[in-house]
Structure 1
Amino acid sequence: MILRWLIFSSLALSMAQAPAGRGASVGGQVELTNSQDSAARKHNYSGVVLWLQPVERDASVPVVPRHVEMRQQNKHFTPHVVAIQVGGTADFPNLDPIYHNAFSKFSGQQFDIGLYPPETSKPVPFHRPGIVQVFCSIHATMSGIIDVVPTPWYDVTKADGKFNIAGVPPGEYQLHIYHERALPANLQFLERRITVPEGGLKLPLISITETGFVPADHLDKHGMPYPKPAADGTYMGGH
């Protein structure tokens, strides 16, 4: 693993201007290594979630309820990865000409919004932090990730791996990272305590290895294997 964090020092940090009274900006870039994913091999580093948690336990953390959208389009969840603060809501618009059934078996945040037709949408509120794996009970190839974080200071990397966490009050924070194809131990190793000054902060390159990741099949909402799909990719029980 290339661990540029090992050379993390005050000399590696550069200040970024932040609007007065609106908090500082913490930015940087992520790269993915040792990946078997075709997009990552082409240097698409999107979908990594980074968030800041105040070190002080009694620090005031504002709740900023937001709506995020995970579209169902071309039999994909788009974006594949979204992040939201606890108390926020995810909308699942169906932009396909067929029915979908988004669900999750995430412990403590299970949901099943049932079959619903094209050109409709259903909201799901999230009340606990954690990783929510989202699937469609009709189409086995559809999957998405919702990272529910306990803070309003977060961002999801774009294709170039860049991120920018805005509006951060100056202070001490723990940097947390999530990537679905990285082992938890590798991500935990990359966590760091950082000091955010009034002028903002630019972090050195964060290199995340996917070594050891093994993809696994998932079951439908009834805990059963998906049946063989029809020619159009739709499974029994779908429309």
Structure 2
Amino acid sequence: MKLLLVLLFTFGLSTACLAEVTIQVNDQAGQPLEDAVVELISSQPGSGKAVHAEVRQQDLTFVPFVSAVVRGTKVEFPNMDKTRHHVYSFSPAKEFELKLYVGKPEAPVLFDKAGIVALGCNIHDYMQAYIYVGTSPHLAVTGKNGLVTLAVPAGEYQLVLWHPWQNADWQPQKVTLSAGQIYQSSLAITHQQKPQKPKKGFGAYTGS
């Protein structure tokens, strides 16, 4: 089943010459869609402040399913389960491996290259998650309400949209952020079920 994401952009000027950008992402049925990444890349890029982020292993799944971080961010991978996990990625944007462990690894993982990082677990094949590593500090992931709100300086930007289920690369759109304007765009995806804890009796390996 293909769904069409409809994005509604509303802009209003706030203090310090910032444009507040509210983006609503819906599916073809008009229902809010979560886990879509929105990035606004300035025509005059500056250095974004890298912060720490976290992807948990909880209830035999990765939480959150989709994360968005700026390049240079260090990400923690705490294991909240009693079951040991073996986290890895073979993605060109970041190859790493955290062998069987519980609790918190000794050091976070540095994501220093822009791109999409697909996460997996060597013990539980169904466990999947994604980290979108952007070049701009102006990026966010839609929640269950399909909304993101960003405060950015008024000006020209490249709007980038990404979702794990998209059917093809989405071409960036040039937008000029100012007050009182509305923009719409769309992204075709094939709807899938997010990874979830399997039925009882599977995935109980604890390691040693």
- TM-score normalised by length of structure 1: 0.73
Match of 2:12 in 1: 16
Give % identity: 30
Q: Verify the 8 A CA contact 2:157 2:175 in the aligned structure 1.
A: yes
Larger of the two Rg values belongs to structure: 1
CA contact (8 A) 1:82 1:145 kept: yes
Point out where structure 2 has 5 or more consecutive residues left out of the alignment: 194-199
Does structure 1 residue 93 correspond to structure 2 residue 89? Answer: no
1:119-158 aligned within 5 A: 119-121=103-105, 122-158=107-143
- Give matches, 1:24-173, under 5 Å: 24-33=19-28, 43=31, 45-55=33-43, 59-117=44-102, 119-121=103-105, 122-166=107-151, 168-173=152-157
How many residues in Structure 1 have an aligned counterpart in Structure 2? 199
Offset of residue 135 of structure 1? 0.5
| Contact 1:24/1:200 (8 A) holds in 2 | no
Relative to structure 1, the CA distance from residue 13 to residue 31 in structure 2 (aligned partners, 3 Å threshold; closer, same or farther) is closer
Deviation at 1:232, TM superposition (A): 3.4
Alignment partner, residue 220 of structure 1: none
Aligned to 1:218: none
- Which 4+ stretches in 1 moved above 6 angstroms? none
CA distance in 1, matches of 2:78, 2:17: 32
- Corresponding residue of 2:160: 176
Find the aligned partners of 1:97 and 1:44 in 2 and give their Cα distance.
34
Query: Relative to structure 2, which stretch is displaced further, 89-98 or 23-32?
Result: 23-32
How far residue 177 of structure 1 moved from its aligned partner, in angstroms, is 0.4
- Please give the per-residue CA displacement for 1:167-188, whole angstroms capped at 9, x wherever unaligned: x111110100000101224x22
Q: Secondary structure at the match of 1:115?
A: strand
Counterpart in the other structure of 1:223: none
**Could you say if the C-alpha distance between residues 77 and 214 of structure 1 is closer, same or farther in structure 2, counting changes exceeding 3 Å?**
closer
Matches of 1:43 and 1:4 in 2, distance apart?
10
Q: Does 1:231 pair with 2:204?
A: no
Secondary structure of the 2:100 match is coil
Q: Which residue of 2 aligns with 1:8?
A: none
Structure with greater proportional helix content:
1
Deviations along 1:55-114, whole A, 9 cap, x unmatched?
3xxx24122111111110011000100000000111111100111111100014100011
Any unmatched runs of 5+ in structure 1? 6-11, 34-40, 216-229
Higher strand proportion, which one?
2
Q: Distance in 2 between matches of 1:231 and 1:214?
A: 24
